[in-house]
Amino acid sequence: MNETRRYLNQYAMLLGTYMGVYWIAKFCLIPAGLTNTFLMLLFIGLTLCVPFMAYFYTKLYRDRVLGGGIGFTHAWLFITSMFIYASLLTAVGHYVYLEFMDNGYIINTYNGMLNELKAEQIPGTEEYITQMRQGLELLAGMSPIELVVQQLSNNIFIGMLLALPIALAVRKNIPVQEEKKEGEA
């Protein structure tokens, strides 16, 4: 059991690091995607690939490390750990961007979009615009570390929820082979 726990943590860290680097690269598309629709669609598409990536990594762990079998609880713990490590690494990337590179770009871009929407005077959007402005004011009032902690907790929570169906899909029990008696061929 202790050996299995060590392997779980070791491979969750390794594969979580790969996933975290993927998330950071994906995150780079957000600022560019605010002005380029294709890049935002690419970001969304890459985000939808995350559960499949988690499934692939867990299957790799199951087949290469555990010998082809993994229970639901073990798979869920592995996937959750992997998402936690990926979220921690991604939080560092988010913090570096928000603290040193953003300078209000994302908030200002969203405000510009709301100004354009308000200028078009589409009926029924006034309340939506007001709510969006309040949300942007709330975000603008938060420090980069507060934003990062919020995003970190969101990533971990969503990862824990995603781990449930992925663990169900990847679980596989190895049938126990009966030992042959001495007289049998």
* Cα 81 to Cα 15: distance, rounded to the nearest angstrom: 10
pLDDT for residue 55: 97
Sorting pLDDT into bands at 50, 70 and 90, what band is 85? very high
* Cα 74 to Cα 97: distance, rounded to the nearest angstrom: 35
29 near 42, Cβ under 8 Å?
yes
49 near 117, Cβ under 8 Å?
no
SS3 (DSSP) at 72: helix
- pLDDT tens column, 95-124: 999 999 998 899 999 888 888 888 887 788
pLDDT above 60 for 72: yes
Sorting pLDDT into bands at 50, 70 and 90, what band is 176? low
- What integer best gives the mean pLDDT of the chain? 90
- pLDDT tens column, 1-54: 557 777 899 999 999 999 999 999 999 999 999 999 999 999 999 999 999 999
Portion of the chain with pLDDT greater than 70, in percent: 92
pLDDT for residue 113: 87
Sorting pLDDT into bands at 50, 70 and 90, what band is 177? low
Integer-rounded Cα Rg, in Å, for the chain is 22
70 near 170, Cβ under 8 Å?
yes
Question: What count of other Cβ atoms lies within 10 Å of the Cβ of residue 106?
Answer: 18
* Cα 35 to Cα 109: distance, rounded to the nearest angstrom: 8
Could you say which DSSP state residue 68 is in?
A: S
Question: Which residue type sits at 81?
Answer: S
pLDDT for residue 86: 98
CB within 8 A of 136, min separation 6: which ones?
107, 110, 111, 114
pLDDT above 80 for 182: no
